[in-house]
Chains A and B, each alone.
Chain A
Amino acid sequence: MEIKLNNINFGEKTVKIKNGSVKELLKKISLNDDSVILVGKQGKIYTKDEKIKNGEEIKVIEVFSGG
């Protein structure tokens, strides 16, 4: 399945994952659960054990230090 991603660092890109899990997606983009917040098109915030629907558009917000 294909997931569309949007991120301040890497911009927009589409990634293909097999089982649709958040864990698989994070592994694919070399991030981990503690360093990121994933927000879906309808404002849904994904937790690490969830599945993502095919074609979902996700904003990848990286957690950063400071502020």
Chain B
Amino acid sequence: MKCEICGTSAVISTNNGTLCAEHFKQRFESITLSTIKKYGLIKKGEKIAVANSGGKDSLSLLYILSKYFKKSNNIISITMDEGIKGYRDKTIEIMEEYCNRYGVDYKIYSYKDFTGRTMDSITKTREGIPCSACGVLRRHLINYAASEVSADKVATAHNMDDEAENVIMNLVQNDIEKMVRLGAYSGVIKEKGFVPRIKPFLFLSEKETMLFSMLNDINAIHTPCPYAGMGFRGLISREIKRMETEFIGAKRNVINTMLDIKNQHVSKNGLKINKCRYCGFPSASDICEACKLKEELKKSPAI
């Protein structure tokens, strides 16, 4: 296939175009910047915390935000260390090397400090899919970390695949309240204790993000988390990629449909939110999921 711009050999063909390496990199950055502009994700002078695991997606996000916003904004990297031996320790090394080389300030927050347990330890005593507990702790700690560094917003590298998976999972679980918190600018926007989350890669696929990191020699490990691919999300993830191959644009359409529903729902009902009575962070119920999990873990000592 040939690049639609210059006619040289293409490296990718998606609903964002059929492009050679150079034009793909330009298009990727341009889509990121247009998402930021369209949804007003970053305003001049704001402090932006980039949730950075040291993996391909978040390093690519840090690369672009540093390239375009370092002069106008304060960019800081925050990392959640789940405690997954042989995986997260390696990506943290890469994250530190990257931040040190490019002069980005960073801070690391660990599950062990928050709950007394690593993710490896939690999986030994807790039944069920590790990703559900890990996701609860990560969201909580990201918000805590972003608050602690006094960030105005926290940028995550969630991409089109992640978001389409979330939409379909919420649909299958009939959870519209959770679904309407998705989007490029997600969650409760004006609430004390909550740092708004922004997703500049919302309209870029997992494959595009991975290719972007490879073509820019971003030294990420191209292996998944050892606990990934399990359970419901793993199933949805595989199916949505199969669907996209057969029907190009499927993921984007899923997200656009969610955004339409969100706009209608929020204008009619607003966003309902409580505060956790333990930690004070915004929560859908009286006690947030992270505090519930923390209590549960106290009752089941580490093996």
Residue positions of A touching B, CB distance < 8 A: 8, 32-37, 44-45, 47-50, 61, 63-67
CB nearest to B60 among chain A residues? A67
In chain B, positions 95-126 with a C-beta closer than 8 Å to chain A are: none
Query: How many residues of B are counted as interface, with CB atoms below 8 angstroms from the partner's CB atoms?
Result: 42
CB–CB B12/A64 < 8 A: no
Residues on the A chain within 8 Å of B91, using CB: 67
Residues on the A chain within 8 Å of B220, using CB: 67
| Nearest-Cβ distance from residue B262 to partner chain A, whole angstroms | 22
| Nearest-Cβ distance from residue A34 to partner chain B, whole angstroms | 4
Is B189 part of the binding interface, using a Cβ–Cβ cutoff of 8 Å?
A: no
CB–CB B214/A34 < 8 A: no
Q: Which of A8, A47, A63, A67 has the most CB of B within 10 A?
A: A67
CB–CB B162/A65 < 8 A: yes
Given pairs A45-B12, A65-B161, A67-B91, 14 additional interface contacts (CB within 8 A): A32-B241, A34-B207, A36-B207, A45-B211, A47-B1, A47-B12, A47-B13, A65-B162, A65-B228, A66-B53, A67-B53, A67-B56, A67-B157, A67-B221
CB–CB A37/B237 < 8 A: no
CB–CB B1/A49 < 8 A: yes
| CB within 8 Å for A47 and B11 given contacts A35-B207, A65-B162, A67-B220 | yes
- Over the window 229-249 of chain B, the binary record of Cβ atoms lying under 8 Å from chain A Cβ atoms (1 yes, 0 no) is 100010001100110110000
Can you list 25 A-B contacts with CB-CB less than 8 angstroms, sorted by A residue number?
A32-B245, A33-B245, A34-B205, A34-B244, A35-B207, A35-B245, A36-B207, A37-B211, A45-B21, A47-B10, A48-B1, A49-B1, A50-B1, A63-B206, A63-B210, A65-B161, A65-B162, A65-B206, A65-B229, A65-B233, A65-B237, A66-B53, A66-B224, A67-B55, A67-B59
In chain B, positions 54-98 with a C-beta closer than 8 Å to chain A are: 54-59, 91
Is B9 part of the binding interface, using a Cβ–Cβ cutoff of 8 Å?
A: yes
Is B223 part of the binding interface, using a Cβ–Cβ cutoff of 8 Å?
A: yes
> What separation, in Å, do the CA atoms of A45 and B12 have in the docked complex?
8
> What separation, in Å, do the CA atoms of A65 and B159 have in the docked complex?
9
Is B18 part of the binding interface, using a Cβ–Cβ cutoff of 8 Å?
A: yes
CB–CB A37/B1 < 8 A: no
Residues on the A chain within 8 Å of B244, using CB: 34
Is B44 part of the binding interface, using a Cβ–Cβ cutoff of 8 Å?
A: no
CB–CB A37/B207 < 8 A: yes
| CB within 8 Å for A35 and B241 given contacts A61-B222, A65-B162 | yes
Residues on the A chain within 8 Å of B10, using CB: 47
Is B225 part of the binding interface, using a Cβ–Cβ cutoff of 8 Å?
A: yes
Residues on the B chain within 8 Å of A47, using CB: 1, 10-13, 18
> What separation, in Å, do the CA atoms of A66 and B165 have in the docked complex?
12
| Nearest-Cβ distance from residue A28 to partner chain B, whole angstroms | 15
CB–CB B237/A66 < 8 A: no
- Over the window 178-213 of chain B, the binary record of Cβ atoms lying under 8 Å from chain A Cβ atoms (1 yes, 0 no) is 000000000000000000000000000111001100
Residues on the B chain within 8 Å of A36, using CB: 207
